[in-house]
Amino acid sequence: MRPQKKLAIALLTLGIASAYPASAHAADKQTKRAAPTVAEAEQFLKNAEARLEKLSDTAQRAAWVYETNITDDTETISAQANELALTAAGEIALEARRYNGLPLSADNKRKLKLLQLSLAISDPKDRETYTRLAASMSGDYGKAKYCRKAGDPTSCLDLGQMEKIMAESRDPALLKEVWLGWHQQSVKYKDNYVKYVTVSNKGAREMGFADTGAMWRSQYDMPADAFAADTERLWQQVKPLYDSLHMYVRLKLRQQYGKDVVPKEGPIPAHLFGNMWSQSWENLYPIVKPQTQTASIDVADALKSKNIDAKGMTQFGEKFYTSLGMEKLPESFWQKSLFTKPRDREVVCHASAWDLNNLTDVRIKMCITPTAEDFMTIHHELGHIYYDLAYRKQPFLFKGGANDGFHEAIGDTVALSVTPEYLNKLGLLKEVPDASQDIGVLLDRALQKVAFLPFGYMVDQWRWKVYSGQAKPADYDKVWWELREKYQGVKRPAPMEANGFDAGAKYHVAADVAYSRYFIAHILQFQFHRALCREAGYVGPLNRCSIYENKKAGEKYQAMLSMGASRPWNEALKAVTGEDQMDATAILDYFAPLKVWMDAQNKEMSKE
């Protein structure tokens, strides 16, 4: 994950929207000034970039210290740094409107529009409240624990421990207890979230947006409504594949837990998917794997037997990128990154990649364990890092992804090349299985990728309703579970509780990180993969392709990465794929053999 710099400096990495009219007060103020000139606009942009870059550096360093050492003091320092940056970004965003309509260069017009895609909280008290609440919620999430016995600290479990139970236990009663225990924690900061939404909306409206959700949807080089329609189009493309997977997993879970626990039809209880949020289902693989399939890309045993530690796992990831012709990671990366969970302090373990000075001070923060999931996650996080390094020569306002979905897709595209052949080359897989064994590997990956799609789609659907006022605080859980049942086909394992806040049990809600990027990333990564495999000259099943060691594909990928946010995302997409529209058919191509197999299995198992 790329940490969201909640202040406006992060927004500069996003897309373009049309210019928005100034408020009446701002317009009145501007009429008293002389008409701006092109030279003034160019100087304004130069000064704005320098100011924001300096504040970005300070805020990112404060955030890094806070997330790697959660205390009241570091929380305050981070909030104060964010407030300074937010103040500056808001002032600059409002001032940027003055130069709309001038005959500027294409680059400067883009910079001017990017500057206006940010909150502008003019009231100092509101800015302080916004940054304080943001830091507080992130801290509450990081420190949250569920105690199985009241008053007994030895019975308390942190999120990492609970996730391990969710992944490994097959006791539905324990799974339900842990699921409920974690989801109860977010109630503690629901009131803060409600206040945060109010202040955030005020900032969005100052910039001419209806609300924060509308502002988020406007950051994709298209109007907000067009973005909503496009994501629905993409979801409809992949829905048949998800429906087949959902049905297959339901039938297998009924065999595992019985008909009294898993219903024949309707939504499935959310605690049974091996994941706290039912967002990925790979931990169910031992339950749902094909009887005759023995192939696997689970490298956990190999990592442990070879004593490959967290840094060693990360070095494997670096080697993939350098095999494509990309540079080695700076020495400071290895010195300053956080690879394992410290024993002496609280940290936010949620994996993230950091660019602290917009040059080469790049790092990852991750509590790495020797699992196949973390091995993949490392490839993902390094994708952010290599994107950061690729566009570091761009002007500050263009130092970001073509859109935020691009930033999430880069490393996942590389992770799709983590095939049995690749793992065999690394010595982590003894032999490459025959193609007849691909169904098991495809199913394992579908449990990660396909299962995620509806969750990735609906999280922001919920927040759009929250920010627009359609979902009132009293109805947060009601709306959350309506969407989860509609898109994911999962239900709460127990009746909803008064004043519940189940959405807040997800990090990205507590930290206010926009989530549509992950849905888009899951579309783009397969589209990128298909195009890069074509560039590499690969012919064969898409799931068998790995671009490892292919410098021709790497050169094309690097060329797109170096564009940063300098051009609209559809131009960046075209540079790699030759296509200017996101297209989910690459996912269907990749999983085509699995879809045929699952449909046949579902037909047979339904007879039982």
Distance CA 161, CA 6 (A): 29
Structural domain includes residue 105: yes
Tokens representing 436 are: 């007849």
Give yes or no for a contact between 356 and 386, defined as CB atoms under 8 angstroms apart: no
pLDDT tens-digit series, residues 55-107: 999 999 999 999 999 999 999 999 899 889 888 888 898 899 899 999 999 99
Judge whether 508 counts as a catalytic residue. Answer: yes
Give yes or no for a contact between 548 and 425, defined as CB atoms under 8 angstroms apart: yes
Q: Give pTM, 2 decimals.
A: 0.88
* Number of domains the chain contains: 1
Answer whether residue 559 shows pLDDT above 50.
Answer: yes
Structural domain includes residue 99: yes
Amino acid identity of residue 420, one-letter, is P
Give yes or no for a contact between 601 and 245, defined as CB atoms under 8 angstroms apart: no
pLDDT tens-digit series, residues 244-265: 999 999 999 999 999 999 999 9
- What residues does 362 pair with on adjacent strands? 355
- Under the banding of pLDDT at 50, 70 and 90, the label for residue 31 is very low
Structural domain includes residue 93: yes
Distance CA 379, CA 351 (A): 12
Distance CA 251, CA 232 (A): 28
The separation between the first and the last C-alpha atoms of the chain, rounded to the nearest angstrom, is: 42
- Residue 596 CB neighbour total at 10 angstroms: 12
Domain that residue 27 falls in: 8-140
| Of 20 and 201, more confident | 201
Give yes or no for a contact between 231 and 176, defined as CB atoms under 8 angstroms apart: no
Maximal C-alpha separation, the chain: 80
Structural domain includes residue 584: no
Helix or strand (DSSP H, E) at 12: none
**pLDDT score of 435:** 79
Give yes or no for a contact between 299 and 375, defined as CB atoms under 8 angstroms apart: yes
Average pLDDT of 355-384? 92
- Of the residues 384, 508, 522, 529, only one is catalytic, namely 508
Collapse the DSSP code of 269 into the 3-class scheme (helix H, G, I; strand E, B; otherwise coil) and give the result: strand
Average pLDDT of 321-331? 97
Give yes or no for a contact between 68 and 31, defined as CB atoms under 8 angstroms apart: no
Answer whether residue 137 shows pLDDT above 80.
Answer: yes
pLDDT tens-digit series, residues 148-197: 998 899 999 999 899 999 999 999 999 999 999 999 999 999 999 999 99
Average pLDDT of 353-361? 92
Tokens representing 138 are: 């992130």
Collapse the DSSP code of 18 into the 3-class scheme (helix H, G, I; strand E, B; otherwise coil) and give the result: coil
Average pLDDT of 541-567? 96
Distance CA 56, CA 209 (A): 24
Judge whether 350 counts as a catalytic residue. Answer: no
- In the chain, % helix, strand, coil (3-state, to 5) comes to 65, 5, 35
Answer whether residue 198 shows pLDDT above 50.
Answer: yes
**pLDDT score of 350:** 84
- Of the residues 381, 384, 408, 522, only one is catalytic, namely 381
Answer whether residue 15 shows pLDDT above 50.
Answer: no
pLDDT tens-digit series, residues 445-475: 999 999 999 999 999 999 999 999 999 999 9
Average pLDDT of 272-284? 96
Distances (CA, A) of 471 to 267, 474, 480: 22, 8, 9
Structural domain includes residue 128: yes
Q: Closest Cα partner for 557 from 305, 236, 340, 323? A: 323
Structural domain includes residue 599: no
**Choice among 217-221, 435-439, 450-454 with the minimum mean pLDDT:** 435-439
Tokens representing 75 are: 């929380």
Give yes or no for a contact between 462 and 483, defined as CB atoms under 8 angstroms apart: yes
**pLDDT score of 431:** 84
Distance CA 414, CA 410 (A): 7
Structural domain includes residue 193: no
| Of 206 and 235, more confident | 235
Structural domain includes residue 83: yes
Mean pLDDT for the chain overall: 91
